[in-house]
Amino acid sequence: MSNKKTTPRFENLSEKKLIGLHVTMSLVNNKTGELWKNFMQRRKEITNNVSSDLISLQIYNPIYFQDFKPTSTFKKWATTEVSDFNSLPNGMDTLVLKGGLYAVFDHKGSGADTSIFQYIYGTWIPNSEYVLDERPHFEVLGENYKNNDPNSEEEIWIPVKKK
């Protein structure tokens, strides 16, 4: 595992306005592909984007990680950041992502390889000065993101607070 992948930088995120689609799912009943396919077919309907970055966001119940089961459900969003909510495409929803401290991991590799998440939640957090904060977790899929490509790059944003 490269050092860059395992050592996060810390960012104090400002509040963001997001528009997109969401589903409730579990790791066993994973609907990520279907969600993103639906979103990508409609993303041009969002006219007030702040950037071309896409945001894959998860909202977990407070006990999700304490009592982890692959069947536990969470809300998954396919979104993009917008300047305001003045033009909302039909059938899409808004989400205000509250600001706060995040550990940001730069990840290179296929999204199908989940070892980075096993490392973050199983090794890095327990051995760090931080605990998970009850805010959304998300990945920024920028211009170097390539779905299921080993050379794909993304940023993994994990909400944290000091122990």
Structural domains of the chain, with CATH: 3-162 (3.20.80.10)
Across residues 25-39, what is the average pLDDT?
A: 95
pLDDT at 5: 52
Average pLDDT, the chain: 92
Contact 76, 35 (CB under 8 A): yes
* Range of lowest pLDDT (16-25, 27-36, 61-70, 91-100): 61-70
Evaluate if residue 79 carries a pLDDT over 90.
yes
Burial profile 26-64: b = 16 or more Cβ within 10 angstroms, e = fewer:
eeeeeeeeebbebbeeebeebeeeeeebbbbbbbbeeeb
Evaluate if residue 3 carries a pLDDT over 60.
no
| pLDDT class of 2 with cuts at 50, 70, 90 | very low
- Read off the pTM: 0.91
Q: Which carries the bigger pLDDT value, residue 124 or residue 68?
A: 124
Tell me the one-letter amino acid at 3: N
| pLDDT class of 4 with cuts at 50, 70, 90 | very low
Across residues 41-64, what is the average pLDDT?
A: 95
Angle at 29 between CA 146 and CA 37, to 5 degrees: 35
**In the Cβ-directed half-sphere of 50, how many Cα atoms lie within 13 Å?**
15
Cα–Cα distance for residue pair 8/104, rounded to 1 Å: 5
Contacts of 123 (CB under 8 A, 6+ apart): none
